[in-house]
Amino acid sequence: MTHGGVLQDTHNRIIRDLRISITDRCNFRCVYCLPETEEAANFYRPNSTSPNNSRQANNSPIYHWKPRSQILTFEEITRVARVAASLGVNKIRITGGEPLLRQGVENLVSEIAAIRPIRDLSMTTNGTGFPALAKRLKEAGLGRMTISLDSLDRDNFKKITGRDGLAEVLESIRIAKSVGLSPVKLNAVIIRELNDHEIVRLANFAHEQDVIMRFIEFMPLGTRQAWDREHVVPGAEIIERIAAKLPLTRLPAGNPSETSTRWSLGQGAGEIGVIAPVTQPFCGNCNRIRLTADGKIRTCLFSLGEHDLKPALRSGASDIELADQLQRIILKKEPGHRIGAPDFVQPERTMSRIGG
Protein backbone atom coordinates (compact mmCIF):
# COMPACT_ATOMS: atom_id res chain seq x y z
CA MET A 1 0.00 0.00 0.00
CA THR A 2 1.24 3.47 -0.83
CA HIS A 3 -0.03 6.85 0.18
CA GLY A 4 1.28 10.32 -0.52
CA GLY A 5 2.46 12.64 2.21
CA VAL A 6 3.72 12.32 5.75
CA LEU A 7 2.38 12.90 9.24
CA GLN A 8 3.36 16.52 9.80
CA ASP A 9 1.78 18.83 12.37
CA THR A 10 1.28 22.59 12.26
CA HIS A 11 4.54 23.09 14.18
CA ASN A 12 6.52 21.36 11.39
CA ARG A 13 7.18 18.24 13.45
CA ILE A 14 7.15 15.04 11.40
CA ILE A 15 5.84 11.97 13.21
CA ARG A 16 8.18 8.97 12.99
CA ASP A 17 7.42 7.19 16.28
CA LEU A 18 4.21 5.30 17.13
CA ARG A 19 3.65 3.86 20.61
CA ILE A 20 1.02 1.11 20.53
CA SER A 21 -0.69 -0.06 23.71
CA ILE A 22 -2.14 -3.54 23.24
CA THR A 23 -3.84 -3.90 26.63
CA ASP A 24 -4.88 -1.72 29.53
CA ARG A 25 -4.42 -4.60 31.96
CA CYS A 26 -1.47 -4.82 34.30
CA ASN A 27 -0.38 -7.17 37.07
CA PHE A 28 1.54 -4.39 38.87
CA ARG A 29 0.05 -1.53 40.90
CA CYS A 30 2.86 1.00 40.67
CA VAL A 31 2.53 4.08 42.83
CA TYR A 32 3.05 6.38 39.83
CA CYS A 33 0.55 4.63 37.57
CA LEU A 34 -2.08 2.45 39.25
CA PRO A 35 -1.49 3.29 42.93
CA GLU A 36 -4.24 1.31 44.62
CA THR A 37 -2.13 -0.56 47.16
CA GLU A 38 -2.13 0.28 50.85
CA GLU A 39 1.58 1.14 50.52
CA ALA A 40 0.77 3.76 47.90
CA ALA A 41 -2.02 5.22 50.01
CA ASN A 42 0.30 5.48 52.99
CA PHE A 43 2.94 7.19 50.86
CA TYR A 44 0.63 9.75 49.28
CA ARG A 45 -1.73 10.50 52.15
CA PRO A 46 0.68 12.33 54.50
CA ASN A 47 2.22 14.38 51.68
CA SER A 48 -0.54 15.21 49.26
CA THR A 49 -3.26 17.84 49.39
CA SER A 50 -5.18 16.18 46.58
CA PRO A 51 -8.90 15.83 47.42
CA ASN A 52 -8.84 12.40 45.80
CA ASN A 53 -6.35 11.28 48.39
CA SER A 54 -8.98 10.97 51.11
CA ARG A 55 -10.17 7.66 49.67
CA GLN A 56 -9.12 4.54 51.47
CA ALA A 57 -7.13 2.01 49.48
CA ASN A 58 -8.39 -1.54 49.25
CA ASN A 59 -7.46 -4.66 47.40
CA SER A 60 -9.85 -4.01 44.52
CA PRO A 61 -8.75 -1.88 41.59
CA ILE A 62 -10.59 1.42 41.23
CA TYR A 63 -10.28 1.17 37.48
CA HIS A 64 -12.21 -1.55 35.67
CA TRP A 65 -10.48 -3.07 32.66
CA LYS A 66 -11.98 -2.47 29.24
CA PRO A 67 -14.08 -5.38 27.92
CA ARG A 68 -12.43 -7.37 25.17
CA SER A 69 -14.88 -6.09 22.56
CA GLN A 70 -13.54 -2.55 23.04
CA ILE A 71 -9.89 -3.55 22.64
CA LEU A 72 -8.37 -3.51 19.16
CA THR A 73 -7.67 -6.88 17.60
CA PHE A 74 -4.18 -7.74 16.40
CA GLU A 75 -5.42 -7.36 12.83
CA GLU A 76 -6.67 -3.82 13.56
CA ILE A 77 -3.44 -2.89 15.32
CA THR A 78 -1.35 -4.20 12.44
CA ARG A 79 -3.44 -2.25 9.97
CA VAL A 80 -2.91 1.01 11.83
CA ALA A 81 0.82 0.28 11.98
CA ARG A 82 0.92 -0.43 8.25
CA VAL A 83 -0.94 2.77 7.36
CA ALA A 84 1.25 4.82 9.71
CA ALA A 85 4.35 3.28 8.10
CA SER A 86 3.08 4.36 4.69
CA LEU A 87 3.11 7.92 6.06
CA GLY A 88 6.70 7.79 7.29
CA VAL A 89 6.49 6.16 10.72
CA ASN A 90 9.55 3.92 11.09
CA LYS A 91 9.71 3.27 14.82
CA ILE A 92 7.13 1.33 16.82
CA ARG A 93 7.08 0.49 20.51
CA ILE A 94 4.60 -2.06 21.90
CA THR A 95 3.35 -1.14 25.37
CA GLY A 96 0.48 -1.69 27.79
CA GLY A 97 -0.62 -1.94 30.53
CA GLU A 98 1.61 -4.98 30.58
CA PRO A 99 1.85 -6.16 26.95
CA LEU A 100 2.97 -9.68 27.85
CA LEU A 101 -0.44 -10.29 29.41
CA ARG A 102 -1.92 -10.25 25.88
CA GLN A 103 -2.09 -13.83 24.66
CA GLY A 104 -0.23 -14.46 21.42
CA VAL A 105 1.74 -11.22 21.54
CA GLU A 106 4.56 -12.85 19.56
CA ASN A 107 2.16 -13.16 16.59
CA LEU A 108 1.55 -9.42 16.63
CA VAL A 109 5.30 -8.78 16.83
CA SER A 110 5.80 -10.96 13.76
CA GLU A 111 3.15 -9.08 11.78
CA ILE A 112 4.52 -5.63 12.65
CA ALA A 113 8.14 -6.70 12.11
CA ALA A 114 7.26 -7.56 8.51
CA ILE A 115 6.05 -4.01 7.77
CA ARG A 116 8.42 -1.82 5.82
CA PRO A 117 9.85 0.74 6.46
CA ILE A 118 9.63 -0.11 10.19
CA ARG A 119 13.28 -0.26 11.26
CA ASP A 120 12.97 -0.19 15.06
CA LEU A 121 10.49 -2.47 16.84
CA SER A 122 10.70 -2.57 20.61
CA MET A 123 8.60 -3.36 23.66
CA THR A 124 8.24 -1.98 27.18
CA THR A 125 7.41 -4.52 29.88
CA ASN A 126 7.55 -4.97 33.63
CA GLY A 127 9.40 -8.23 32.96
CA THR A 128 6.95 -10.65 34.51
CA GLY A 129 6.19 -13.49 32.16
CA PHE A 130 9.07 -12.56 29.89
CA PRO A 131 11.39 -15.54 30.51
CA ALA A 132 8.88 -17.93 28.92
CA LEU A 133 8.37 -15.69 25.87
CA ALA A 134 11.83 -14.24 25.29
CA LYS A 135 13.01 -16.61 22.57
CA ARG A 136 9.69 -16.48 20.69
CA LEU A 137 9.65 -12.68 20.76
CA LYS A 138 13.19 -12.50 19.42
CA GLU A 139 12.45 -14.99 16.66
CA ALA A 140 9.27 -13.07 15.78
CA GLY A 141 11.33 -9.97 15.03
CA LEU A 142 11.41 -7.93 18.23
CA GLY A 143 14.56 -5.84 18.21
CA ARG A 144 14.82 -4.29 21.65
CA MET A 145 13.35 -4.59 25.12
CA THR A 146 12.81 -1.97 27.82
CA ILE A 147 12.16 -3.33 31.31
CA SER A 148 10.91 -1.37 34.30
CA LEU A 149 13.21 -1.51 37.33
CA ASP A 150 12.36 1.09 39.96
CA SER A 151 14.27 -0.47 42.84
CA LEU A 152 16.96 -3.02 43.59
CA ASP A 153 15.69 -3.54 47.12
CA ARG A 154 13.13 -6.34 47.39
CA ASP A 155 10.96 -4.62 50.00
CA ASN A 156 11.08 -1.25 48.27
CA PHE A 157 10.35 -2.90 44.91
CA LYS A 158 7.22 -4.43 46.42
CA LYS A 159 6.22 -1.11 47.97
CA ILE A 160 6.53 0.68 44.62
CA THR A 161 4.98 -1.99 42.38
CA GLY A 162 2.60 -3.80 44.71
CA ARG A 163 4.26 -7.11 43.78
CA ASP A 164 7.11 -9.19 45.15
CA GLY A 165 8.67 -9.56 41.73
CA LEU A 166 12.24 -8.24 41.85
CA ALA A 167 13.87 -11.64 41.31
CA GLU A 168 11.78 -12.30 38.20
CA VAL A 169 12.59 -8.89 36.75
CA LEU A 170 16.32 -9.40 37.31
CA GLU A 171 16.07 -12.77 35.58
CA SER A 172 14.24 -11.12 32.66
CA ILE A 173 17.08 -8.64 32.26
CA ARG A 174 19.59 -11.48 32.12
CA ILE A 175 17.53 -13.39 29.57
CA ALA A 176 16.91 -10.33 27.38
CA LYS A 177 20.67 -9.89 27.09
CA SER A 178 21.27 -13.59 26.43
CA VAL A 179 18.81 -13.81 23.51
CA GLY A 180 20.17 -10.66 21.87
CA LEU A 181 17.41 -8.14 22.51
CA SER A 182 19.95 -5.36 22.50
CA PRO A 183 20.47 -2.81 23.81
CA VAL A 184 18.55 -3.63 26.97
CA LYS A 185 17.09 -0.50 28.50
CA LEU A 186 15.82 -0.23 32.07
CA ASN A 187 13.35 2.42 33.22
CA ALA A 188 13.31 3.79 36.76
CA VAL A 189 10.75 6.41 37.75
CA ILE A 190 12.39 8.38 40.54
CA ILE A 191 10.19 9.68 43.36
CA ARG A 192 11.59 11.69 46.23
CA GLU A 193 11.44 9.92 49.60
CA LEU A 194 10.51 6.66 47.90
CA ASN A 195 13.41 5.46 45.75
CA ASP A 196 15.68 8.47 45.19
CA HIS A 197 18.15 7.00 47.70
CA GLU A 198 18.76 4.22 45.14
CA ILE A 199 19.83 6.46 42.24
CA VAL A 200 23.56 5.73 42.52
CA ARG A 201 22.94 2.04 43.19
CA LEU A 202 20.82 1.80 40.02
CA ALA A 203 23.55 3.57 38.02
CA ASN A 204 26.12 1.12 39.39
CA PHE A 205 23.85 -1.74 38.32
CA ALA A 206 23.84 -0.36 34.76
CA HIS A 207 27.64 -0.31 34.81
CA GLU A 208 27.94 -3.81 36.21
CA GLN A 209 25.39 -5.31 33.81
CA ASP A 210 26.39 -3.22 30.77
CA VAL A 211 22.84 -2.01 30.16
CA ILE A 212 21.19 1.38 29.75
CA MET A 213 19.48 2.73 32.86
CA ARG A 214 17.04 5.56 32.19
CA PHE A 215 15.95 7.71 35.10
CA ILE A 216 12.52 9.27 34.54
CA GLU A 217 11.08 12.24 36.38
CA PHE A 218 7.84 11.55 38.27
CA MET A 219 4.93 12.71 36.10
CA PRO A 220 1.25 13.40 36.94
CA LEU A 221 -0.27 10.24 35.45
CA GLY A 222 -1.56 8.17 38.38
CA THR A 223 -5.14 7.22 39.26
CA ARG A 224 -5.10 8.99 42.62
CA GLN A 225 -4.11 12.22 40.92
CA ALA A 226 -1.96 12.86 43.98
CA TRP A 227 1.06 14.07 42.04
CA ASP A 228 2.96 16.78 43.83
CA ARG A 229 5.97 18.58 42.39
CA GLU A 230 7.71 18.12 45.74
CA HIS A 231 8.00 14.43 44.86
CA VAL A 232 9.84 15.21 41.61
CA VAL A 233 13.60 14.72 41.61
CA PRO A 234 14.82 16.99 38.79
CA GLY A 235 16.96 15.42 36.10
CA ALA A 236 19.80 17.82 36.90
CA GLU A 237 19.81 16.59 40.50
CA ILE A 238 19.87 12.96 39.38
CA ILE A 239 22.96 13.63 37.26
CA GLU A 240 24.59 15.58 40.07
CA ARG A 241 24.15 12.71 42.52
CA ILE A 242 25.56 10.13 40.12
CA ALA A 243 28.47 12.34 39.03
CA ALA A 244 29.50 12.72 42.68
CA LYS A 245 30.11 8.95 42.85
CA LEU A 246 30.76 7.71 39.31
CA PRO A 247 32.63 9.05 36.25
CA LEU A 248 30.21 10.40 33.66
CA THR A 249 30.84 11.43 30.08
CA ARG A 250 28.09 13.20 28.16
CA LEU A 251 27.15 11.41 24.95
CA PRO A 252 25.91 13.19 21.83
CA ALA A 253 22.23 12.91 20.97
CA GLY A 254 21.45 10.34 18.31
CA ASN A 255 18.72 12.53 16.83
CA PRO A 256 16.89 15.76 17.80
CA SER A 257 13.76 13.88 18.92
CA GLU A 258 15.51 11.83 21.63
CA THR A 259 13.72 12.08 24.95
CA SER A 260 16.76 11.49 27.13
CA THR A 261 20.12 13.08 27.76
CA ARG A 262 22.70 10.30 27.67
CA TRP A 263 25.85 9.67 29.70
CA SER A 264 28.53 7.00 29.52
CA LEU A 265 29.57 5.40 32.79
CA GLY A 266 33.13 4.94 31.56
CA GLN A 267 35.20 2.05 30.24
CA GLY A 268 32.53 1.27 27.68
CA ALA A 269 30.33 -0.53 30.18
CA GLY A 270 26.84 0.77 30.77
CA GLU A 271 25.04 4.00 30.12
CA ILE A 272 22.52 6.19 31.88
CA GLY A 273 19.88 8.44 30.43
CA VAL A 274 17.73 11.07 32.09
CA ILE A 275 14.22 11.78 30.85
CA ALA A 276 13.07 15.07 32.37
CA PRO A 277 9.66 16.03 30.95
CA VAL A 278 8.77 18.10 34.02
CA THR A 279 11.87 20.26 34.43
CA GLN A 280 13.33 20.07 30.90
CA PRO A 281 10.45 19.52 28.44
CA PHE A 282 11.39 18.28 24.98
CA CYS A 283 8.04 18.99 23.33
CA GLY A 284 9.51 21.12 20.57
CA ASN A 285 11.12 18.07 18.95
CA CYS A 286 8.42 15.54 19.79
CA ASN A 287 7.84 13.11 16.91
CA ARG A 288 5.59 10.65 18.78
CA ILE A 289 1.94 9.72 18.90
CA ARG A 290 0.19 6.97 20.84
CA LEU A 291 -2.47 4.43 19.96
CA THR A 292 -4.37 3.24 23.01
CA ALA A 293 -5.57 -0.32 23.41
CA ASP A 294 -9.15 0.77 22.73
CA GLY A 295 -8.29 2.52 19.48
CA LYS A 296 -7.74 6.16 20.41
CA ILE A 297 -4.92 8.28 19.03
CA ARG A 298 -3.31 10.55 21.61
CA THR A 299 -1.10 13.26 20.12
CA CYS A 300 0.52 14.03 23.48
CA LEU A 301 1.04 11.96 26.60
CA PHE A 302 -0.89 14.68 28.47
CA SER A 303 -3.64 15.22 25.88
CA LEU A 304 -7.06 16.02 27.30
CA GLY A 305 -8.72 14.97 24.05
CA GLU A 306 -8.45 11.79 21.98
CA HIS A 307 -9.23 10.79 18.40
CA ASP A 308 -11.09 7.52 17.90
CA LEU A 309 -9.91 5.30 15.02
CA LYS A 310 -12.09 2.35 15.94
CA PRO A 311 -15.23 3.48 14.05
CA ALA A 312 -13.22 3.77 10.83
CA LEU A 313 -11.46 0.46 11.45
CA ARG A 314 -14.75 -1.36 12.03
CA SER A 315 -16.93 0.32 9.41
CA GLY A 316 -15.08 -0.65 6.27
CA ALA A 317 -13.00 2.51 5.76
CA SER A 318 -10.23 2.10 3.20
CA ASP A 319 -6.54 2.46 4.02
CA ILE A 320 -6.51 5.76 2.15
CA GLU A 321 -9.40 7.04 4.28
CA LEU A 322 -7.62 5.88 7.42
CA ALA A 323 -4.42 7.62 6.31
CA ASP A 324 -6.35 10.83 5.63
CA GLN A 325 -7.85 10.63 9.13
CA LEU A 326 -4.40 10.21 10.68
CA GLN A 327 -3.10 13.23 8.78
CA ARG A 328 -6.02 15.36 9.99
CA ILE A 329 -5.44 14.22 13.56
CA ILE A 330 -1.75 15.13 13.50
CA LEU A 331 -2.62 18.69 12.50
CA LYS A 332 -4.17 19.00 15.99
CA LYS A 333 -1.04 17.89 17.86
CA GLU A 334 -0.41 20.19 20.80
CA PRO A 335 2.68 22.42 20.88
CA GLY A 336 3.53 20.87 24.25
CA HIS A 337 2.26 19.83 27.67
CA ARG A 338 1.52 22.39 30.38
CA ILE A 339 2.91 20.69 33.49
CA GLY A 340 3.65 23.43 35.99
CA ALA A 341 1.32 25.96 34.36
CA PRO A 342 -1.49 27.35 36.56
CA ASP A 343 -4.11 25.92 34.18
CA PHE A 344 -2.59 22.44 33.87
CA VAL A 345 -5.19 19.68 34.02
CA GLN A 346 -4.10 16.09 34.58
CA PRO A 347 -5.39 13.57 32.00
CA GLU A 348 -8.07 11.22 33.24
CA ARG A 349 -6.28 8.21 31.78
CA THR A 350 -3.46 6.72 33.79
CA MET A 351 -0.16 5.69 32.24
CA SER A 352 -1.30 2.08 32.08
CA ARG A 353 -4.33 3.11 30.03
CA ILE A 354 -2.32 5.35 27.70
CA GLY A 355 0.76 3.29 26.96
CA GLY A 356 4.34 4.22 27.73
Give which of 46, 44, 107 is closest to 75, Cα–Cα. 107
Per-residue pLDDT of the chain (356 residues; tens, 9 = 90+): 545 689 999 999 999 999 999 999 999 988 888 756 666 666 665 555 443 433 334 444 456 778 888 999 999 999 999 999 999 999 999 999 999 999 999 999 999 999 989 999 999 999 999 999 999 999 999 999 999 999 999 999 999 999 999 999 999 999 999 999 989 999 999 999 999 999 999 999 999 999 999 999 998 776 555 677 899 999 999 999 999 999 999 998 777 777 789 999 977 689 999 999 888 878 888 999 999 999 999 988 888 889 999 999 999 999 999 999 999 999 999 888 877 767 777 777 766 777 76
Helical ranges in the chain per DSSP H? 38-44, 74-86, 105-113, 130-140, 154-161, 166-178, 199-209, 235-243, 310-313, 319-330, 351-354
Sign of the C-alpha dihedral computed for residues 208, 214, 219 and 221 taken in this order: negative
| Alpha-carbon gap, residue 216 to 164, rounded angstroms | 22
Amino acid, res. 175: I
The partner residues of 93 in beta bridges, in order of sequence, read 19, 122
pLDDT of residue 37: 60
| Alpha-carbon gap, residue 290 to 238, rounded angstroms | 28
pLDDT of residue 148: 97
* Residue 44, helix vs strand vs coil: helix
pLDDT of residue 109: 98
- Distance, first Cα to last Cα, the chain: 28
pLDDT of residue 43: 64
The C-alpha angle 169, 171, 174, rounded to 5 degrees, equals 115
pTM: 0.89
The partner residues of 14 in beta bridges, in order of sequence, read 8
pLDDT of residue 55: 39
The CATH code for residues 17-354 is: 3.20.20.70
- Are the C-beta atoms of residues 147 and 187 closer than 8 Å to each other? yes
